[in-house]
Structure formats: C-alpha cells, structure tokens
Chains A and B, each alone.
Chain A
C-alpha cells in the first residue's frame, strides 16, 4: 500500500475497490465543493428573485388601498350661488377656492368633540388638495343639491394615507409643514369613529396621473390605455411584417449576399440596446416624419422595429420545425410553392409564431428607455383620450414610463404608486406569458 502514497504507475493493480483511498477522498471532497458552488449559485439567484418579489409585493400592495374621510358637507347657498337662481354659469364662476370654507366647516363638524390643539383652518390639511375640486364637480353636476347637506367620501392627503399604511410615523412630521402630529391623534380618533377608513383603491387602476403635490390621486389607468394602443400598433405591424420577412428568409431567399445582409442585420438588431431604438424613433418618426411627439403611434412604431427581430427569429424557428415532407406533399399534388406555404406550412407553424409574438409583445410592453426619448413620459398621462384616433395620436404615457416618472418624483408617496404600478405591469406580463405557455402546450406538435 505504500505504492498508493508514492503514486507509482501501477498503483491501481490489485487494490480493493471497496476501500476508498486518500486521493479519491480528496477528489470526492473537491467534487462536493464544486457541486456546492452550483447549488449556491442557484440559491443566490433564487434568493435574488424572492427578494425582488418581496420588495415588489410588500411595497406595492399598499397602493391598492387608499384612505378616505367620510364628511358631511353643507353646500351653503350664500357661498355657491349668491343669486339663488341656480344658474350654471354663475355656479361655475365659483372657483375651487370658494369651496375651501365649506370643507373647513365640514371638517370642524367631523372633528366635533375631539380634543385637539389644531386651529379650525388646519383641520382640513387632513384632506387631499383634490377635495375642493371634487365638491365643485359635484355641485356643477347637481345644482339642485345646493343648500343641502351631502355626505362625501373624500381622499385624505398622502401623508395621512401614509400614516394609515405605516409609511409615515410621528417623528417624520417634525419638520413637515403640511401635517402635524396632532393631526395623527385626530385621525386615530376618527378611525375609531369610523369616519376615516381604508378601502380598495379602484382609482389607482383606472385613474390618471396627478400633479406632483397630489400622490394620493395618481393612478395608472390612462397610461395603461397608452400601453394598450402601443401594443395594438406593434401587433398590427410587427406580426404581419415579421411573418412575411420570415417566410421570405426561410422559404424563398436564395443563398446570396443580399440574404446574408438581411440575416446579419436581424441578428444584430436583436442585440442593439433598446435606447438606440429610441434615438431612431426620435430622429426618424418625430424629427424627420413630423409625427406627433409623445403619441402612442410613435411609441408603437419604435417598439415595432425593436420587436421585429425577436418575432422573425421565433417565426423562422417555427417554420423550420415544419418537416419538408409537408411541403413536398403539397407540391406533389400541383400546388405552387406559395400555395404550399400559405395553405399548409403557415397554419402548422401558427401556434409557434403566436407564442413568439406574444413573448415579443410582452418584451415591448415592459420596455421603457425608448419611450423616454420620444417623450412618452408620465406627467402627460392626465387625460383619457377621446375616441380611437386620439388614442393613437394624442400625447400619452405608457405603464413603464409612468412608473419611471413616479420613481423620479420627490415625494415618497409616489414610490408606493411606482411599486403598485409594477404589480399591475407584472400582472399583464404574467398573463401574456401564461397565454404563450398554454398556446405552446395546447398546440405543440412533435414531428
């Protein structure tokens, strides 16, 4: 056995395999270590994934609830309609500023019986700045209610909302000019009374972006529509063009310089940074073609060019997967090559093509950088487009750009919106990917 330690060439001869020698032990330890690295790598990756998901969910879920105050507002006639003739034109002359006193009165009433050091005027700081506008809209729509006392559910300011969600604590308010700790004591009592409550926030999903001072009002709805119109453009352009290009390259293209050039272009375009497509969109569609800036049509065109290589690559793979025998069979009964492809090969490749298209669309839906360059930024997503044409041509934002805009704003209340927006975006992406997976499972054909 001394042979083993000195390692002479005939070391293996006649040695029992039932005993594991020192060298093998060492080698097995190295093996275990190596395997350990692999497990660690997987573990670290999954850890990153889980922390990312936890960050998204824990930070984003609060965006889906919102704090409201139920207050009874007396719509005083002497403030809103001095002449008493309910003339809409006169009522409209009262600006939101004119509604402030009504709100103050209402808040004083709501806080009745609660001991607080706050002045009556400061009480309404609990409410969102949008309250007056909501009241005004209501009065203009229902002039006959003037003089009555109406119960309103009004948004609280983002800080009160943050307090209810645990984001804002009393210490934070020391240097805050918008809210004092005394407000929070008041809120505590009002919560007990049921006047302040947190409910599901539909406005976040359907609403529009709001100004920097009103995070409590901001929603992702309009930019969702912007994304939708862009995706329509991408689908309508990228799918037919991508399929047509793939059919040519896969079925007709002769082996020559031109074909090579196209192939090289496609594989390189697939790897060009997305921001370069943004520059292209800006220079060609806006600078050169004078298409309207910030419009979903421009975003859609830019994303189409970006998505095309993805779609072409996956479509070609699906076409390639259809066995040549199908083509031969069609040609054998006298179909032209074009007929063989459009009648037989294309339908068989369709599930694969659709799967690739959906994945390309999902990629485009989450893309942000090019949109920033063509001006599809968040702060313009404050109006719903009127009708289909304006949906394509009016300035709008897109979900990821809206999220970016929120992330850039100074008020941390917008961060919660950004995370919430990400949840909405991911729900869309997940749905699209699930559809793609189901399509693949359902129609996958093995030749």
Chain B
C-alpha cells in the first residue's frame, strides 16, 4: 500500500478507491437533499467536500458511515461501497461499519468523562484491548496521533470537557482514531475553533493522511485548498464537480464552481 501511495494521484486504479458511491439519493421525508451523486474516494488521501450551506455535503458525509440511520425521516437510495462492499446491504451492522469509518463532528463533543475514558471508550466497546496495559498503550498511541499527547499526558484523568476548544477537537480526533478506523469522516471540524487551533488541526489532518483515508466537509475554500488532494463541489444537492484540488481551484470546468470559488455565490 505504501508504494501505491507514491503513484500519481490522478491515476486512480480500482485498488486505490476506498469508497465508491453510485447514484446516491437522500430524502428527508419528501425533500430530496442529495440528487444522484457519484463519488470515488481514494485511500490515503484527503478528499474535501465544499459548497454553500445546505448544499448536502454534510448529509452525504453522514451517509458514508450510516449516521443518517439515526434520523427517522431520512431515506438513502443508491449504492455506497467500501472496499467493494455495499454498506447498505441488509447484512451490514452499522455498528461494525462505524468502527471502520470513524467520524469527527462540527462541534467538539467530548463525553463528560476523563480524557483517558474519552479515548478508551471506543476500544473498550469494540473489545480492542485484552488488558489494562494494552488499553493504556492504545490510548497513548491515539493521543499521540491526535497530536495532543504532550498537552494532556499529565492530566489524563481530568475531565475532557475542561480542555480548550482546539484541544477538545483534537481529543475527539484522537478518540475517533483510537478505534483504528480505515476512513475518517470530518464534518467541518474547525468551524468552532479559533485560527490557531484550526492550524493545529489542519496540520494534524495532513499527518493523518498517511494512515487513513480522510473525508472532510468544510465551509472554507482556503482550508480545502490547504489540506485536500481531491475536492468535490456540491450545490443544491448535486455534485457539480469533482477532481484534483489544484484543478478545481485553478481551472474549474463548471461555471457554478467558478462562481463559488470566486465568491459570487455561496
């Protein structure tokens, strides 16, 4: 896998593709929120979803780990496959799927528990550790990957809600990483953070790319340009354009993309 990463990004092969979505439609009761979206998300790469608010980018993201199942009126049609397996197959247990596809939310949402327990929660419920020592190891590793270990290693048993906003969000990322997912979905992870915390998180996302396939929804085009390799532009529930980030930002094909990039809509 490592050497595959060295290949040209634009030359996506079948093995490279982690998630393939075909003809996805999402309805909230009678409103269609997503119209016929096809996307291919590659492994070990950051894919950004951009677009004006209400364009369906978050809705689509939540389809990928079936978080939309928790909304009664939401209905998903079409085909989403991870490693070639249909995630809406009746045999799939969403619990197992979500262990494989982690998620970080818009607002940092640490549980009202200690930092340690926050991170250990996922490994515990999935039974990833055989004993306390192994759990400690997992927690440390996750906190290191979340780039927050140095800041919290002396107060692992302090409540997670006592951290600053940026620290909380990195804790949430560490929490998501601790279950060893293969894909990490991030729903506007920096929108509640100040610029310094944002920079830290963005740096972290870039590092995460080495181990995970990352999908990030963002409001900020600059952020998409900074962290992603591939960008999808959503508008009114349609996937308007999807391609290399460089190309989308420098030479978009669709006039709607261009209007958005240049700030005329959105």
| Partner-B contacts on A (CB < 8 A) | 6-21, 23-24, 27-28
B89 within 8 A of A: yes
* Interface contact B180-A9, CB-CB below 8 Å: yes
B266 within 8 A of A: no
- Cross-interface CB contact of B93 among A6, A9, A28, cutoff 8 Å: A28
Q: How far is the CA of A27 from the CA of B196 in the complex (A)?
A: 41
* Interface contact A9-B138, CB-CB below 8 Å: yes
* Interface contact B96-A11, CB-CB below 8 Å: no
* Interface contact A17-B182, CB-CB below 8 Å: no
List, in ascending order, chain A residues with CB within 8 A of B91's CB: 18-20
List, in ascending order, chain B residues with CB within 8 A of A6's CB: 130
Stretch at the interface among B24-32, B54-62, B120-128: B120-128
Do A17 and B180 form a contact, CB below 8 Å, given A9-B134, A12-B100, A24-B93? no
B92 within 8 A of A: yes
CB distance from A47 to the nearest CB of B (A): 27
Q: How far is the CA of A27 from the CA of B95 in the complex (A)?
A: 9
List, in ascending order, chain B residues with CB within 8 A of A27's CB: 95, 125
The residue on A at minimum CB distance from B82 is A17
Q: How far is the CA of A6 from the CA of B92 in the complex (A)?
A: 22
The 7 listed contacts between A and B (C-beta, < 8 Å) are A9-B128, A9-B138, A11-B127, A12-B182, A16-B85, A18-B92, A20-B91
B167 within 8 A of A: no
CB distance from A198 to the nearest CB of B (A): 53
* Interface contact B130-A11, CB-CB below 8 Å: no
List, in ascending order, chain A residues with CB within 8 A of B182's CB: 12-13
* Interface contact A12-B85, CB-CB below 8 Å: no
B99 within 8 A of A: yes
* Interface contact B89-A18, CB-CB below 8 Å: yes
* Interface contact B95-A13, CB-CB below 8 Å: no
List, in ascending order, chain A residues with CB within 8 A of B123's CB: 9
Q: How far is the CA of A12 from the CA of B212 in the complex (A)?
A: 13
| Partner-A contacts on B (CB < 8 A) | 82-83, 85, 87, 89, 91-93, 95-97, 99-100, 123, 125-130, 134, 137-138, 179-182
Q: How far is the CA of A24 from the CA of B100 in the complex (A)?
A: 13
* Interface contact A11-B93, CB-CB below 8 Å: no
Sample of 8 more A-B contacts, CB < 8 Å, known A9-B129, A14-B83: A8-B128, A9-B137, A9-B138, A10-B180, A11-B126, A12-B126, A12-B181, A20-B91
CB distance from A25 to the nearest CB of B (A): 9
Q: How far is the CA of A154 from the CA of B181 in the complex (A)?
A: 86
* Interface contact B96-A24, CB-CB below 8 Å: yes
List, in ascending order, chain A residues with CB within 8 A of B134's CB: 9
Q: How far is the CA of A13 from the CA of B93 in the complex (A)?
A: 16
List, in ascending order, chain A residues with CB within 8 A of B82's CB: 17
Query: How many CB-defined contacts (below 8 Å) exist between A and B?
Result: 57
List, in ascending order, chain A residues with CB within 8 A of B95's CB: 24, 27-28
CB distance from A40 to the nearest CB of B (A): 23
The residue on B at minimum CB distance from A20 is B93
6 closest residue pairs by CB, A with B? A18-B91, A7-B127, A23-B127, A20-B93, A17-B97, A12-B180
* Interface contact B96-A20, CB-CB below 8 Å: yes
Q: How far is the CA of A15 from the CA of B126 in the complex (A)?
A: 14
Q: How far is the CA of A6 from the CA of B128 in the complex (A)?
A: 9
Q: How far is the CA of A19 from the CA of B93 in the complex (A)?
A: 8
Q: How far is the CA of A28 from the CA of B125 in the complex (A)?
A: 12
* Interface contact B180-A11, CB-CB below 8 Å: yes
Q: How far is the CA of A7 from the CA of B129 in the complex (A)?
A: 6
* Interface contact A21-B96, CB-CB below 8 Å: yes
Q: How far is the CA of A9 from the CA of B89 in the complex (A)?
A: 26
Q: How far is the CA of A18 from the CA of B180 in the complex (A)?
A: 18
- Cross-interface CB contact of A12 among B125, B137, B138, B179, cutoff 8 Å: B179
CB distance from B16 to the nearest CB of A (A): 15
- Cross-interface CB contact of B92 among A13, A14, A17, A28, cutoff 8 Å: A17
* Interface contact B130-A7, CB-CB below 8 Å: yes
The residue on A at minimum CB distance from B98 is A17
Most buried by A among B82, B92, B97: B92
List, in ascending order, chain B residues with CB within 8 A of A15's CB: 100
Q: How far is the CA of A18 from the CA of B91 in the complex (A)?
A: 6
* Interface contact A17-B87, CB-CB below 8 Å: yes
CB distance from B169 to the nearest CB of A (A): 23
List, in ascending order, chain A residues with CB within 8 A of B83's CB: 14, 16
Q: How far is the CA of A14 from the CA of B100 in the complex (A)?
A: 9
Q: How far is the CA of A108 from the CA of B123 in the complex (A)?
A: 91
List, in ascending order, chain A residues with CB within 8 A of B92's CB: 17-18
Q: How far is the CA of A148 from the CA of B9 in the complex (A)?
A: 118
List, in ascending order, chain B residues with CB within 8 A of A23's CB: 126-127
* Interface contact B85-A18, CB-CB below 8 Å: yes
List, in ascending order, chain A residues with CB within 8 A of B100's CB: 12, 15, 17
Q: How far is the CA of A20 from the CA of B138 in the complex (A)?
A: 24
* Interface contact A13-B180, CB-CB below 8 Å: yes
Q: How far is the CA of A23 from the CA of B123 in the complex (A)?
A: 13
List, in ascending order, chain B residues with CB within 8 A of A21's CB: 96
Q: How far is the CA of A23 from the CA of B95 in the complex (A)?
A: 11
List, in ascending order, chain A residues with CB within 8 A of B89's CB: 18
List, in ascending order, chain B residues with CB within 8 A of A19's CB: 91
List, in ascending order, chain B residues with CB within 8 A of A8's CB: 128
The residue on A at minimum CB distance from B181 is A12
List, in ascending order, chain A residues with CB within 8 A of B87's CB: 17
CB distance from A221 to the nearest CB of B (A): 51
List, in ascending order, chain B residues with CB within 8 A of A16's CB: 83, 85
